Amino acid sequence: DGGITQSPKYLFRKEGQNVTLSCEQNLNHDAMYWYRQDPGQGLRLIYYSQIVNDFQKGDIAEGYSVSREKKESFPLTVTSAQKNPTAFYLCASSFRQGGFNEQFFGPGTRLTVL
């Protein structure tokens, strides 16, 4: 079955540690996205990538980093510079031009920094 996987579902880290969230898709989508969701809030875009080896900052990129070495994978690193990292992180993918109004989302990773 095609889809997007994120792991782990729940993640706990100590303050000051970097942590990497995994996102893999087998939908053959060109574009991938990372969003952050806080309680009662909408989705805010962190980073996105439209093609391998290229990515752009979203609205709240500070304290985060990404890589796109493979079409299927778009890992997100939450660095110690992110002041309030506890949140629900959602990865999504879509076809590139003309189709990205429909994004397919993974199940999310809930990160708690203690």
Partner 1 sequence: GQSLEQPSEVTAVEGAIVQINCTYQTSGFYGLSWYQQHDGGAPTFLSYNALDGLEETGRFSSFLSRSDSYGYLLLQELQMKDSASYFCAVRGYSTLTFGKGTMLLVSP
Binding interface with partner 1 (CB under 8 A): 33, 35, 40-45, 48, 50, 56, 58-59, 90, 100-108
Residue 89's DSSP bridge partners are 36, 109
**Nearest of 101, 92, 80 to residue 32 by alpha carbon:** 92
Of 75 and 108, the one with the shorter C-beta distance to partner 1 is: 108
Of 65 and 104, the one with the shorter C-beta distance to partner 1 is: 104
Amino acid at 24: E
The total of other beta-carbon atoms located within 10 Å of residue 49's CB is 20
Of 80 and 88, the one with the shorter C-beta distance to partner 1 is: 88
